[in-house]
Amino acid sequence: MNAIVVGLDADGLGDALEAEGVEVTRIEEWGTRPALEEAGITEADTLVLTVAQGATAIPIAKDINGDVRVVVYAEDDLPDFARGQADLIVDPDLLSVEAVAEELAA
Look up the CATH number of the domain holding residue 19. 3.40.50.720
pTM for the full predicted model: 0.94
Instruction: Report the distance separating Cα 71 and Cα 33, nearest Å.
Output: 18
CA distances from residue 103 to 17, 53, 79, 98 in whole angstroms, order as listed: 10, 24, 24, 9
pLDDT at position 86 is 95
Q: What confidence category does residue 102 fall into, taking pLDDT thresholds of 50, 70 and 90?
A: very high
Average pLDDT estimate for 18-43: 96
Average pLDDT estimate for 88-98: 95
pLDDT at position 52 is 84
Average pLDDT estimate for 33-51: 97
Average pLDDT estimate for 33-37: 97
Look at the alpha carbons of 38, 42, 13, 49 in this order and tell me if their dihedral is positive or negative: positive
Domain containing residue 27:
2-105
- Dump pLDDT digits (tens) for 53-92: 889 999 999 999 999 999 999 988 899 999 999 999 999 9
How many separate domains does the chain show? 1
Average pLDDT estimate for 1-30: 95
pLDDT at position 70 is 97
What type of residue sits at position 92?
P
* Res. 26: pLDDT tops 90: yes
